[in-house]
Structure 1
Amino acid sequence: MPVIVKDCEWTQTDDSVEVVVPLKGKAPPPSAVFTSDTYIKVNFPPFLFELDLLHPIDEAESKAVISKGVAKFQLKKQTPGAWEQLAYKTEDKAALRQRRLKAEEGVRQRAAEQAETKSKEQYEKQRAAVQRQMKLEEEERRRRQEKQDAARSAVDDALAQGIAATSISAQTSSPPPPPPPSSSSTSATTLALTTTAPSTASSLPPVRRAGKISVTFSHRAFKTPERETYKEQEQQWLDKQAAARKAIAEAKGEGGVEHDPLWYIDKGRSFFRAGDCQSAINAFTSAVTLDKTSATAFSLRAACHLRLCDYQACAADATKALSLLQPPCSANAGDRLKAHLRRAAALEAINDTQAALFDYRKALELQPHDARVRAHIAELTGDDGGDGGGGGVQE
């Protein structure tokens, strides 16, 4: 908490007041001094001097100076006359605080106004300087343009005078025109020109005959000159690339037996026997992609779907196989029997009894002594005359 200093000396005249404050051996900076129209202050820690003036002063005409261990305030009175006392005294601390705040606010406002005024003055000075510079540059451009115009006019005048003088001298020094030639001299001159002029047709060289130049280029896989190449290493690289392309083509099925649907059917049979029905379906699908009329591929794929309990797909493939096994004959009887049995089993599994009975009866027509087919028919019709054998999925 600062130590409040109250001792000071003051003198006055009708126009001014002088206040001297001892600084207790301190040397505060000028920023520690505050002066307003009704309140002055000096802050020199740990000391603080505050004084509320009895009457307002002219802040603009007042000043404070720090020298020789004292702070001297030279204050200009707003209203001339003698003051009864220096300090404004009141018991109302709130009113005193409000008076100080008002004084400080007035100082801030005046400082802001002064800063704004100074900024405007600076702007006007800069603007005036720019205008003066622009005016000087414009005058300089005008002078240069006048010099250029004068020089151009002088050159044009000199050129015009030279042309006029040349024309006059040419007119005065031109010789008289020669007399017209006589008819005899004209014919003699024509004859001389005719006899002495060389023949232009005989002087031209003959036209060159057209020819053809054959150019051949050796095949080069690498775009390098022959003198900069290494044939052995390049050939090894080309052989490796060819082998790699061949391996990729074989892996993708782009060459050899992979284009044969029978090859895919054999692969599918192998997968089916091994119990890998999904791989078998993929192989049979590749076969029907290559040959859409392969009833064998459709029938075998139906068997795979039946084993995987995909009854709808099984019935669809069996139906497609039966449509391709036309016309019915002894040669395709075995394939038709398998297709009917597979479709019947699928339809029975989805409780389509009538359609399943139709296929079982068709199968019985193809193989009348098959006890398993009879058992399925008896089971579906409720007749116990069969032996109860189950129809499995066969290849």
Structure 2
Amino acid sequence: MPLLVTDYSWTQTDSTVYINVPLKGAKVGKVDILSTDEYVKVHFPPYLFEAFLFEPVDDDKSTAKVGNGVVLISLPKRTNKEWDHLMISTNDKEKKKVIRQQALLKYQDKLTSESRSKAEKKHAEKKYALETMMKLEKEERDTIQKMKDTEREKTTAELAAWQLNQKQKAEVETRVKLQRQRSRQTQIKAVTEEQENQCSGEGNVCKSEANCKKKQVVLPAPRLTGNIQVTFTPRVFPTALRESRVQEEEEWLKKQAEARHAVNADTEELKDLKEEHRNPDWLKDKGDKYFATGDYLSAVNAYNLAVRLNRKIPALYSNRAACHLKLGNFHKAIEDSSQALDLLTPPVAANAAARARASVRRGSAFCQLQLYAEGLQDYHAALKIEPHNIALQADIEKIRDIIQGTTADPDTQ
């Protein structure tokens, strides 16, 4: 039985009530405070302070400070007036029990609401972070595309200028070539006319045919042609190399190489396994058999290998959570149970039993860590799935008693 604290003190103003509760040597970490608009409880084993308030207070603005050997509770009044007493003057145990139960239910609803609000806030933050990341990635893609377009336009302009320059050079060379050909033809024609005049002129006879051939013009031989081989340095990235992005490209290539190395190492490690050892269902059955015989470490090893082969089977995480509970690895049990519940979506009749088991295992791990409020939520979730489960109802009653302080924590006995 807890020892009721009677040496408390209280003061008030028109708007606020202040309560001082001495801790009697208890450590700050073991003080459990529960406050609603009609009820206040301070529990630090084996002592208990309860106050069934004379008037309702504003629970949302109430505060509690623990330190220097006392608990200072500030309770803003809903109506600005002085109280005749701190607590209601009644010895009706049933009425107090009803008020206590209502306060516990309000406190649980408050915890659930706060948890839901935190989850919604976390979801909103994740959504905002994802949208921001997507926006940044889009801006980066647009920037890269803009750089590509700029480089393409620049390259196109340079190519057009080069083609125009080549065309102009070709026209100049063609004109020069035509001029040379015309000049050569003119020279040949002049020499031919001169030879004809010398060889067949009136009254003149050509001395010899060889003499005429010597004076013929000898044309130069055609120029030699050839091919020039051009090679380019290979690049992984489609864009041109920029000094400002060299470090970024090297980091990306390093991460890709590490990822490939990890995949290859995992493949090499699993390659030597037998055919049945690569079957997640076979490994699950093996782990179940080990669990049934009490060999929890072997069961965990079997489930670990099965998870590496297939990470989408909820039963592997749920069964491994049961093993961790037996081995006292409560944080790992919570992690595996949460992973199983994430995979058991959407909630349908086919996975109801599996969701109930995973919720109970996570709730049990929370209670082993003395996080009774979180554990009670998981047990309630399991009871919603199996409302006629007598064992679950009994466990929920035990947890409620521990939270209310009517039953001692089993780990502290």
Q: Say whether the fold is shared (TM-score over 0.5).
A: no
Higher relative contact order (CA 8 A, sep 6+): 2
TM-score range, shorter chain: 0.3 to 0.5
- Please report the TM-score for the alignment, with normalisation by the length of structure 2: 0.42
Q: Who wins on radius of gyration, i.e. which is larger? A: 1
Q: Which has the higher helix share?
A: 2
TM-score normalized with structure 1 length: 0.43
